Amino acid sequence: MRRLFLLALLFFTLSVKSQTLTPRQQYPDLFEAVQLSNIFPDNKTFVDAVPRQDPALIMKAYHDQKDKPGFDLKAFVLANFDIPVSHNAFQTDIEAGIRKHIDTLWQVLQRRPDEAKANSSTLALPNPYIVPGGRFREIYYWDSYFTMLGLQESHQIKVIHNMVENFAYLIDKYGFIPNGNRSYYLTRSQPPFFAMMVNLLAKNEGQQVLTQFRPQLIKEYNYWMLGSAQLKINSKSHRAVRMRGGEIMNRYWDESDQPREESYVKDVDAAKETKEPLPQFYHNIRAAAASGWDFSTRWFDASGKLATIQTTDIVPVDLNCLIYNLELTIAHSYQQSGNLKLSGQYRTKAENRKKAILKYCWNRKTGWFDDYNLQLNQLSAVPTLAAEFPLEFKIATKEQARLIAEGLKNNFLKPGGLVTTLNFSGQQWDAPNGWAPLQYMAIDGLEKYNYNALAKEIATRWLRLNIRVFKQTGKLLEKYNVVDTKLTAGGGEYPLQDGFGWTNGVLLHLINRYHFDPAQESKNLPENQN
């Protein structure tokens, strides 16, 4: 009976996905022609465009016209699609201050639930939601937790609730939370922060929230653990890995072995440099996108080159900490409803994962938490800020936390906050860039082990950098150069974006947490920095 149920569930999931075609599936030949041309500098533009008529009619017109003399591809696209716009041009009154700016941005970045258009790549959501900003015109999974931290400070609990409901809706409909609510993201998820969102909401609405969203928490857990029961030692399937000692851990994975539709040219060009079989290379590129760290030398071999990307062979320490938290949250939800047996089962899963994290990810030689490389059967040689996650979830011992705090202070702390890795590679998730979510996770984790002075110092440097850039530009940015704070952040596949959901959220949270006065700080800035 259980087998029949699982088969029915699989059929339902496949049928839902088959009804949600991606732009490349809807517009074969036309898609490649547009993405490989210079019509739009950003490959995300076309995949977000909304067709003005049925895709079948557009394709018929394209095939009828494309080989005729004088055919203009750009004119054809503009005639048949509504082209999306980015919102990087949002103007603000700098003198009104950062708090006013963020309050306004919550409205600018909010999208109504009925904005999904027929045959567009947007996956419709039932409730309003906040987008990051700029070219990111849809909700993003892990971004949203850090946005919620600011919404909580703004007392916009209803918006948080709506977003959690949206993610629950996506889990129920697709079996997981996609990278974002777009059809071309239906092959991957992102760092699983849903349990943290539910716990955040529970602080405002009560512990019954854990029970309310338990079905979706379990579905997400099953998504990450798909195929784990059948795994043999030293093998992997989808997102699950069985380690050499028999432990189950997780990795990032994307089900597709094709170039990302939203970064088609970038992936096709990058593939020309790799020695990996193309399906393997694209799996690795897409898995890095699933991690949110796209891209970083964290995922490359010792050469530090994108062509050597090996994401699917890496067991990330931060991912496994997040799933540990998911297991504990499910256990807590069962405890709330009095089911001590199932609560105990999930606590055992969490305890086993904690032991595995400490066994495979703690580097005794360097005093750091690292990823584990399955191909090499050894710890990664690239130290990253992912090491802070075992502190956030209180997995680290006191001695391990002391060493992490020491390493953060001596190696990662720069004038503007924490750098993501120590490598200056040109990739956006490496030096010299710093990112709001990683600042927050480090600060919060350090405080849980009573490294309050260091946490405050990191927060202060980050806040001052955010405030100075805001005073200069009137913008809150996606990422910042924390090494040379007079320069903007660089790297990545697209220009620096402003808006910006998770920056706003973390900034407002830290301002309130440390009773920081942005107006006073702005006055104290040297005149030559204005």
Q: Which residues are designated catalytic? A: 294, 478
Residue pair 274/280 in contact (Cβ under 8 Å)? The answer is: no
Cα-based distances in Å from 402 to 54, 270, 483 = 60, 40, 24
Helix 141-153 and helix 436-448: axis angle, to 10°? 70
- Listed as own residue / partner, the contacts of 524-529 with beta carbons closer than 8 Å and 24 or more positions apart are 525/467, 525/468, 525/471, 529/468, 529/472, 529/486
User: What angle separates helix 214-224 from helix 194-205, to the nearest 10 degrees?
Assistant: 170
- Strands, E assignment, 259-364: 314-315, 362-363
DSSP strands (E only) in 435-526 = 480-481
Q: Which residues contact 483 (CB under 8 A, 6 or more apart)?
A: 414, 415, 416, 419, 431, 432
Any bridge partners for residue 315, and if so which?
372
Positive or negative: CA dihedral 49, 52, 58, 62: negative
> Concatenated DSSP letters for 512-526?
HHTT--HHHHHHHS-
Q: Distances in Å between the alpha carbon of 514 and those of 130, 190, 312?
A: 25, 30, 39
Q: Which residues pair with 248 in a beta bridge?
A: 242
Q: Which amino acid is at 328?
A: L
Per DSSP, 9 falls in state H
For residue 477, which phi and psi values (nearest 5 degrees)?
Answer: -105, 160
Helical H segments across 154-263, by residue range: 157-174, 194-205, 208-212, 214-224
All residues at 6 or more sequence positions from 202 whose CB lies less than 8 Å from its CB, including other chains: 208, 209, 210
The beta strand positions in 272-354, using DSSP E, are 314-315
End-to-end CA distance of the chain: 69
